[in-house]
Every structure is written in structure tokens, then in C-alpha cells.
């Protein structure tokens, strides 16, 4: 690719949340290289131990309703819990975007799940996700899944319970 600069550092956030228990010299060196790269290019970054990347993105205001957020993690659909389109991206594609600020997306078919009623006591959003995985099987592979429902239904699913609903449907 030959790029030497990040085109738009405001589009990028690094959150180091995988393999943080690994204190080997090689892993610590890798983390240091990432932090040095982030500082050199004025990229916002959060060190190992700060928290789970997807949660940091929401808590720090990088992901919000009506926007799109991509990450090099298969659970990037987590952002759907706040109404933000979340999509995974492989690291080589991410590097290309960093260099050019451009990419393309194939718009997937949308599968709509319409909720009615409220959850019985003891049933959680994770239970819904497990059931949907059983019912859907591969029917929604490579689909965007939109969750809708009656106002009382959606009000009975607090935002923090919507995250597992989104991230468990992988």
C-alpha cells in the first residue's frame, strides 16, 4: 500500500482489550508499538486494562444512535444495542481505510424481528439471543438484523440488556 500517514485520525480509536493478561515481552512490545503509532498520528487510544473496547466506544461517545461504527472484532454488532450500525472489519481493510478514508459496503438484506409483550421474570435478552440463534440457524447469515417492537416491549429491554442481544447473534 505504501501509505505513511493516516488520512483522518479522528475516524480511528484504539482500544487494547484482548490478551491483556499476557505480560510477555513480545506482547508488551506489541502494545507499546500500537500506543506509539497512535500518539505519532494523534489517534485516540485506550490502554490495556481500561475496559472492553465496545463498551469504551459507547461510554466515551464514539458510537451513538444513527451512526455507523466498524471494528476489527466479530462482536462489532454490539453497537446495535444503542441504535448504531456496527460491523466487523478485517485488519487489512482497516489499514486501507486509515490511509484513504474510503471503503465500500455491500448493503445486506435486512431481517426484521418484531417483539411483542414483555419478558417474563427471569428471562433475559441473552435468552432471546440464544432462542433466535436456534430459530434462525443460517437463515440470516450475512443479514443486518433490525429489532423492533411495541413501545412497552422496547421499554422493557433496557439498553444494557440490548448489548448481549446484538453481540450474541454472530
Task: Give long-range contacts, CB 8 A cutoff, 24+ apart: 97-100.
Answer: 97/11, 98/3, 98/6, 98/7, 98/11, 98/12, 99/1, 99/3, 99/5, 99/6, 99/7, 100/3, 100/7
Distance (Å, whole) CA 161 – CA 13 = 25
Q: Where are the beta strands (DSSP E) in the chain?
A: 13-15, 44-46, 68-71, 85-88, 110-115, 144-149
How far apart are alpha carbons 19 and 16 in whole angstroms?
Answer: 9
Contact 148, 114 (CB under 8 A): yes
Residue 170 clears pLDDT 70, i.e. is over it = no
Specify the 3-state DSSP secondary structure of 118: coil
Look at the chain and count its residues: 170
pTM: 0.84
Mean pLDDT, residues 126-136 taken together: 87
**Residues 25, 153: Cα–Cα separation, whole Å:** 50
- Give 138 or 90, the one with higher predicted confidence: 90
Cell numbers given for 134 = 436456534
Of residues 13, 126, 146, the one with CA closest to residue 84: 146
For residue range 32-91, list pLDDT tens digits in order. Answer: 999 999 999 999 999 999 999 999 999 999 999 999 999 988 888 889 889 999 988 898
Amino acid at each position: 500500500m505504501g501509505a505513511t500517514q493516516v488520512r483522518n485520525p479522528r475516524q480511528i480509536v484504539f482500544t487494547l482489550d484482548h490478551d491483556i493478561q499476557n505480560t510477555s515481552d513480545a506482547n508488551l512490545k506489541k502494545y507499546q508499538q500500537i500506543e506509539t503509532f497512535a500518539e505519532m498520528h494523534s489517534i485516540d487510544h485506550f490502554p490495556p486494562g481500561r475496559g472492553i473496547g465496545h463498551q469504551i466506544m459507547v461510554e466515551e461517545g464514539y458510537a451513538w444512535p444513527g451512526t455507523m461504527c466498524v471494528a476489527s472484532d466479530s462482536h462489532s454488532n454490539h453497537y446495535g444495542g444503542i441504535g448504531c450500525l456496527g460491523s466487523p472489519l478485517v485488519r487489512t481493510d482497516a489499514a486501507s481505510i486509515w490511509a484513504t478514508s474510503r471503503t465500500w459496503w455491500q448493503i445486506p438484506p435486512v431481517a426484521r424481528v418484531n417483539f411483542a409483550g414483555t419478558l417474563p421474570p427471569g428471562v433475559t435478552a441473552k435468552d432471546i439471543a440464544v432462542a433466535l440463534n436456534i430459530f434462525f440457524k443460517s437463515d440470516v447469515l450475512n443479514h443486518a438484523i433490525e429489532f423492533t417492537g411495541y413501545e412497552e416491549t422496547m421499554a422493557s429491554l433496557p439498553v444494557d440488556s440490548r448489548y448481549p442481544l446484538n453481540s450474541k447473534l454472530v
